[in-house]
Amino acid sequence: MRVLGIDCGSARTGYGVIESDGAQHRMVAAGVIRTDVKSPFERRLLQIAGELRGLIRQHAPGSGAVEGVFYSTNVKTALKLAHVRGIALLVIAEAGMELAEYSPLEVKTSVVGYGRAEKCQVQMMVRSLLRLPEAIESEDACDALAVAICHATHQAASRRLA
């Protein structure tokens, strides 16, 4: 299965595409969609949508996975994140892809085995699971790959149980 993982952010939206059978994972692509924080917010959302559509056309994933909104003490930040998540959900739905959402706790538990894992532990496990020669430098891209791995693992477990 080919999965697009998305780590939403209004300044930096991470993405990661993997090919997986649920046990073995291979990175296809990873990166960050960067927007100009000085641009009007609606323009930034439009850019994110356009680049996500391009990624879907280029890599043809069968499903998309997005990290759920986490609790934030800054309401303004949480609201912007929710807008970007809405764009990601819309683009996935437009493409007719299967959608899954996972909490940060579910992603960390799936990838590291511990829901309160630190960022460096997630980076180390993503590198290990994808058999990469070096760590993914961008935390946003690494988090997106972790979301994709979480989804592939959950899908494989669901198929085994069915």
Kindly list the catalytic residues. 7, 67, 140
| CA-based radius of gyration for the chain | 15
- The two beta strands, 12-20 and 2-7, are antiparallel
- The two beta strands, 63-67 and 98-102, are parallel
Q: How far is the C-alpha of 97 from the C-alpha of 102, rounded, in Å? A: 16
